[in-house]
Amino acid sequence: MSQPSYSRGPQLALREETIFEALSQMAARQPTHEALIVRHRNTRLTYRELKERVEEAARGLIGQGLRPGDRVGVWASSCAEWVLLFLACARTGIVQVNVNPAYRSQDLGFVLRKSRIKALFLHSRDARANYRQILEETRAGQQLPLQHVVYLDEDSWPRMLANGVDVPSIEIKPHDVCNIQYTSGTTGSPKGVLLTHHNILNNGWIFAKWMQLTPQDRCCNCFPLYHTAGCVLGILTCLSSGATLILPWPQFDAGKTLEAVEAERATALLGSPTMFIAELGQPEFKRFNLTSLRTGGMGGAPCPIEVMKRVIEEMHCRDMMVIYGQTESSPLISMSRSDDSLERRVETIGHATSSIEVKIVSPATSETVPVGVQGELCTRGYHVMKGYDDEAEATRKAIDPDGWLHTGDLATMRSDGYLRITGRAKDMIIRGGENVYPREIEEFLYSHPKVMDVQVVGLPNERWGEVVLAWIRLKAGETCTEREIRDFCEGKIAYFKIPEYVRFVDAFPMTVSGKVQKFIIREQEIRERGLEEVARIRTA
């Protein structure tokens, strides 16, 4: 009888405390050990100082009139205040909503309404955008539940801290929701993923264990904090292991990252394949001393095998591992191990991590397929989200009655339990680690006065993994340009959702039953744009 595609990671007694309890334990254990380094602000906090600053931020939140269960949005790039708010919300029972800094008025308005955010924390502006102006545009002409706006780079932040009041005695339980992150999900338009202390604290802790992190490690995190990869595999991984978290720059900058690794003697480096490619491509790459590195995690998008080999050899990350997961799974599902062979680390996305089950099922029947047969990757365990916020039907579609999360990714399993991603059951686009759902962009482009119909697909791209392509049918008698379409998107949807390519067409390829054949659109564009070599790049 053939071996079924089922595997489970080693069983581990899971942690049963809240995030703030974990911080308090670490602050008591190593109070003077460096916890957080934010290089662009020259901020350095020990574990004792971090706990004190978190308590101060928690009092500030309560002073705003916020209470357990209220939603607070953090719409900012990586900074010390982001970390403080994340931990302070966990301290008070307030639910933090991670808001992507790339969001513009349409995206922001959707999240503010959907999550019922009462307070929003943001910078007034940075090199990428004028956030105050975007917020004002979003609030104009619509009723929002937003009651407080606190600018992290103005006096409203210190004023909030100064007006803090004692945190009331409240019982916060490990299985309480503490974080909401928006994802295109496995079933369609953006949804708020409900994550608990238990979900994400254990996920970060297990990641630390598999990376063999100790208080002697110094982890340079390039993942944005508003992603699970940043706040869980960055913040909580360090907090649960006692390691030092290094934030090199507000947004990813390859040169600043290499500077941070050298100056801070980082031992671990986290980022997406796109980020590692940029670091390797720095003109002055060879002048940086990266010999302190020994390990790291690369995930968020498929990893080109040749890139992994270069990272191991040229960046001295001998224990560099591929990591795989998604927001709905807190995020980590599988990863390689430090003692895995190079072949396992570059040819697969690793094995199910501790206390997690994985199986590959037939998309048609949901039956577990034999080893080596392609199917949909499903996972079950402590890491599966509580559900989508106010989306009962979508939650039922994503998590079956037996507790299995259907990831939407196609994969194969080897006889040793190691996995390889082969595609996606849905047509989601992953651009540089950002999930982009085509229907969302299509709905937006339908609002253009000249557009009659539109189909969006992903095209392979050497730098980003995939980029957005839009095929557009115009209304009769209309003319339009690619620039006009992109200008229409600018400032209204996130930059990573704006089509890189636009083609105006008279018709779409259709099946006999009238369904658009998106795979034909993709194949034609790959052929006509000469992207065959990029499409053939091997990934784990």
- Cβ count near 354 (within 10 Å): 22
For residue 136 the two structure tokens come to: 């004002």
- Cβ count near 81 (within 10 Å): 23
Q: What pTM was estimated for this model as a whole?
A: 0.90
Q: What is the pLDDT of residues 462-474, one digit of tens each?
A: 889 999 999 999 9
Q: Is the pLDDT of residue 424 over 80?
A: no
- The pLDDT of residue 77 is 96
Q: Is the pLDDT of residue 451 over 60?
A: yes
Q: Is the pLDDT of residue 425 over 90?
A: no
Beta-bridged to residue 194, according to DSSP, are 180, 387
Q: Which of these ranges, 112-116, 175-179, 451-455, has the smallest mean pLDDT?
A: 451-455
Extents of the domains making up the chain: 429-535
Q: What is the pLDDT of residues 488-497, one digit of tens each?
A: 999 999 999 9
Q: Is the pLDDT of residue 188 over 70?
A: no
The whole-number average pLDDT for the span 170-193 is 85
What architecture is domain 429-535? 2-Layer Sandwich (3.30)
Instruction: Note whether 428 and 436 are within 8 A (CB).
Output: yes
Rounded Cα–Cα distance for residues 322 and 328 (Å): 19
**Which residues of 314-449 form beta strands (DSSP E)?**
319-325, 332-335, 351-352, 356-361, 375-381, 387-388, 405-413, 419-424, 429-431, 434-436
For residue 203 the two structure tokens come to: 């996920």
- The pLDDT of residue 287 is 97
- The pLDDT of residue 186 is 47
Q: What percent of the chain has pLDDT over 90?
A: 84
Q: Which of these ranges, 22-26, 184-188, 331-335, 399-403, has the smallest mean pLDDT?
A: 184-188
The whole-number average pLDDT for the span 122-143 is 94
Q: Is the pLDDT of residue 417 over 90?
A: yes
Rounded Cα–Cα distance for residues 459 and 427 (Å): 11
Q: What is the pLDDT of residues 209-255, one digit of tens each?
A: 999 999 999 999 999 999 999 999 999 999 999 999 999 999 999 99
For residue 496 the two structure tokens come to: 């990573």
User: Cα torsion at 184, 206, 244, 94 (round to 10°)?
Assistant: 50
The whole-number average pLDDT for the span 417-435 is 85
Instruction: Note whether 301 and 274 are within 8 A (CB).
Output: yes
Judge residue 255's burial from the number of C-beta atoms within 10 Å of its C-beta, 0-12 exposed, 13-18 middle, 19 or more buried. middle
- The pLDDT of residue 156 is 98
Largest alpha-carbon pair distance within the chain?
72
The 3-class SS string of 268-331 reads: EEEECHHHHHHHHCCCCHHHCCCCCCCEEEECCCCCEHHHHHHHHHHCCCCEEEEEEECHHHCC
For residue 195 the two structure tokens come to: 């994550």
Q: Is the pLDDT of residue 208 over 90?
A: yes
Q: What is the pLDDT of residues 374-392, one digit of tens each?
A: 999 999 999 999 999 999 9
Question: What is the separation of C-alpha 497 from the centre of its chain, rounded to a whole number of angstroms?
Answer: 15
Q: What is the pLDDT of residues 311-365, one digit of tens each?
A: 999 999 999 999 999 999 999 999 999 888 888 888 899 999 999 999 999 988 9
Q: What is the pLDDT of residues 261-279, one digit of tens each?
A: 999 999 999 999 889 989 9
Rounded Cα–Cα distance for residues 353 and 11 (Å): 9
SS3 of 111, please?
helix
**HSE-CB of 247 using CA atoms within 13 angstroms:** 28
- The pLDDT of residue 217 is 98
Instruction: Note whether 413 and 8 are within 8 A (CB).
Output: no
Rounded Cα–Cα distance for residues 278 and 275 (Å): 5
Which residue has 């992290």 as its token pair?
152
- The pLDDT of residue 190 is 82
Q: pLDDT category, 161, cuts 50, 70, 90? A: very high
Q: Strand pairing of 43-46 and 71-75?
A: unpaired
- Cβ count near 405 (within 10 Å): 21
Q: Is the pLDDT of residue 427 over 80?
A: no
Q: Is the pLDDT of residue 512 over 60?
A: no
Which residue has 């990863």 as its token pair?
335
- The pLDDT of residue 480 is 97
DSSP 8-state symbol, 192: E
Instruction: Note whether 86 and 96 are within 8 A (CB).
Output: yes
Q: pLDDT category, 184, cuts 50, 70, 90? A: low
